[in-house]
Structure 1
Amino acid sequence: MNALEIRELFPILHQEVNGKPLVYLDSAATSQKPVQVIDVLEKYYREYNSNVHRGVHTLGTKATDGYEGAREKVRKFINAKSIEEIIFTRGTTTALNIVANSYGRANLAAGDEIVISYMEHHSNLIPWQQLAKQTGATLKYLPLQDDGSISVEDVQKTITPNTKIVSVVYVSNVLGVINPIKEIARIAHENGAVMVVDGAQAAPHLKVDVQELGCDFFAFSGHKMCGPTGIGVLYGKKQLLENMEPVEFGGEMIDFVDLYDSTWKELPWKFEGGTPIIAGAIGLGAAIDFLQEVGLENIEAHEHKLAAYAMQRMSEIEGATIYGPKDAAKRAGVITFNLADVHPHDVATVLDAEGIAVRAGHHCAQVLMKWLKVSATARASFYLYNTEEDIDKLVEGLVKTKEYFSDVF
Structure 2
Amino acid sequence: MQHWSSHSAKDDAAPPADLPFSAGEYAARVTKVRSAMARQELDLLLVSAPENICYLTGLDHWGYFAPHLLVLPMNGELVLITRAMERVTVAAQVRHARFAGHPDHETVADAACRELAGRRLRRVGFEPRSSGLPMALGLALQAACAAEAWVDASGVVDAIRMVKSPAEQACLRQAAAVSDAAAMAAIQATRSGASEAEIAAACLATMAERGTYPGFGPFIRATSRLGEEHTTWSRARLEVGDALFLELSGCVARYHAPLGRLIHVGHAPPEAHAMASVAQDAFAAVVASLKDGILARDVYAAWQGVVDRAGLAHYRRHHCGYLVGIGVPPSWTGGNQVWGLRPDSDLMIRTGMSFHVLSWLMGTGQGDYFISNTVLLGDQGAQVLTQTPTDVTIR
TM-score w.r.t. the length of structure 1 is 0.24
The one of the two structures with greater contact order (alpha-carbon pairs below 8 A, sep at least 6) is: 1
TM-score w.r.t. the length of structure 2 is 0.24
More helix by share: 1
